[in-house]
Structure 1
């Protein structure tokens, strides 16, 4: 069990570092839908990792996977939002970062190219 937990923990660490913004969500999660709208309206791309889809494809490891995610973040709720591999929290946290115009600067810490692309998209509309 410990080895499987370590494998899943490493899998999560890899997943949160694949894109500048990664969000773990569940189907029909209102807070995720609000976070998704906020990011889309700000022209900020993100990767969604659906726990609902994970469960349907990997029912045998679902509980351990969610346990590894909760151990990594200390949070039991979704959405769980990561910027540049760092857990920033849920919707209220991304909302506060957006209101303070801090999302793009945080993205620039790991992807200057994406940050510049977001700025350019915002200028063109």
Structure 2
């Protein structure tokens, strides 16, 4: 199973939806990086992704983007292949 990393905050509905989608695909472990409790992590996320919003999701080292990007990848049939690596 691929390694999932997600930049997140405590009360982010899109983060929760991303977690639910990943769980429905069999993902049981997500490395969550809370940017609301650590300003340095927010800066690191923005430098790494070029984005300011959460969630920001990585599958292994591939930046997927936010929830909408993850859902679009799933609809296009590409999510399961990335997760199975």
TM over 0.5: yes
Q: Which structure has more helix as a fraction of its residues?
A: 1
Q: Does 1:68 align with 2:44?
A: yes
State the secondary structure of the residue aligned to 2:64: strand
Deviations 1:5-48 (A, max 9, x none): xxxxxxxxxxxxxx522111111100011111111122233414
Q: Number of residues paired by the alignment?
A: 84
What TM-score do the two structures reach when normalised by structure 2? Answer: 0.82
* Alpha carbons 1:25, 1:48 under 8 Å: kept: no
What TM-score do the two structures reach when normalised by structure 1? Answer: 0.59
Give the structure 2 partner of residue 101 of structure 1. 77
Q: Which structure has more strand as a fraction of its residues?
A: 2
Instruction: Choose from 61, 75, 84 the match for 1:85.
Output: 61
Q: In structure 2, how many angstroms separate the alpha carbons of the residues matched to 1:50 and 1:22?
A: 7
Q: In structure 2, how many angstroms separate the alpha carbons of the residues matched to 1:100 and 1:45?
A: 22
Listed as ranges, the gaps of 5+ residues in structure 2 are none
Larger radius of gyration: 1
Q: RMSD of the alignment, in Å?
A: 1.9
Listed as ranges, the gaps of 5+ residues in structure 1 are 1-18, 56-61, 112-125
